[in-house]
Copies of this chain bind each other. A is one copy, B any other.
Amino acid sequence: MRPLILHDYPGSGNCYKARLTAALLGLPLERRVYDMLGGKTRTEDFLGTVNNNGRVPVLQVADRYLPESNAICLYLAEGSRLIPADPLDRADMYRWMFFEQNGHEPHIATLRLWLGYVGEANLSDAQRAQVPAKRHSGEDALRVMNEHLAARDWFAGNALSLADIALYAYTHVAEEGGFALDPYPHVRAWLARIAATPGYIALRD
């Protein structure tokens, strides 16, 4: 396999998805770390070469650059046990990965960034105005997850898949954004199952 370079930010849950996927599969990743909060993913060079969307993670494969955390995980895990073989189970995996990017990350990850990293006092008026809606939507995402996990151990199929990795990344640090996980016992049990998986690495390893 060609060498894989991850353009990375250590505190980012999206970057962590790629590192956790690679760790579980035993794939070596070379890391290039950016000071994201210091604007280093918004420089002219970064925008022109790595990602014109100004974000990490980006996976570099030779001269190709692949943004979007869940797309990176799908590329890394192609043909592995982290992708269910059955077409409908695989579709379920995609379902939860899209749910994560649409119904979970914009609320739970954003409040973690704003409240846990930027700081409430430093938010713009436009950001502060969005907090209540993001709080409500984030709690709804946790409810949907908890209900789904009531009768099953993993999100798709009968084993850990990329759906679990995608949703784990920001759920296990949701409290940094002010989300209490006490009301979601099935989510908490599932978080513990993932952390007990052989090959697991922590966000800040």
Contacts and interface: CB of A to CB of B under 8 A. Distances in A.
Interface residues of A, number: 38
A202 interface: no
A43 B94 CA distance: 25
A184 to B, nearest CB: 14
A95 B132 CA distance: 29
A80 interface: no
A126 B135 CA distance: 12
A70 B98 contact: yes
Nearest to A14: B102
Interface string A12-46: 00000000000000000000000000000000000
A144 B52 contact: yes
Given A61-B88, A130-B129, A133-B130, A67 B95 contact: yes
Contacts of A92: 66, 71
B91 A52 contact: no
So how many copies of this chain end up in the complex? 2
B105 A91 contact: no
Contact of A52 (B52, B88, B96, B147): B147
Q: Please list the 4 inter-chain residue pairs (A to B) with the smallest Cβ-Cβ separation, ordered nearest first.
A: A129-B129, A71-B94, A75-B91, A71-B95
Given A102-B106, A126-B133, 14 more contacts: A52-B148, A53-B103, A61-B88, A64-B88, A71-B92, A71-B94, A71-B97, A75-B94, A98-B101, A102-B102, A102-B105, A129-B130, A129-B133, A130-B133
27 contacts: A64-B88, A66-B88, A66-B91, A66-B92, A66-B95, A67-B95, A68-B96, A68-B98, A68-B99, A69-B98, A70-B98, A71-B91, A71-B92, A71-B94, A71-B97, A74-B94, A75-B88, A78-B87, A97-B98, A101-B101, A101-B102, A102-B102, A102-B105, A126-B133, A127-B133, A129-B129, A130-B133
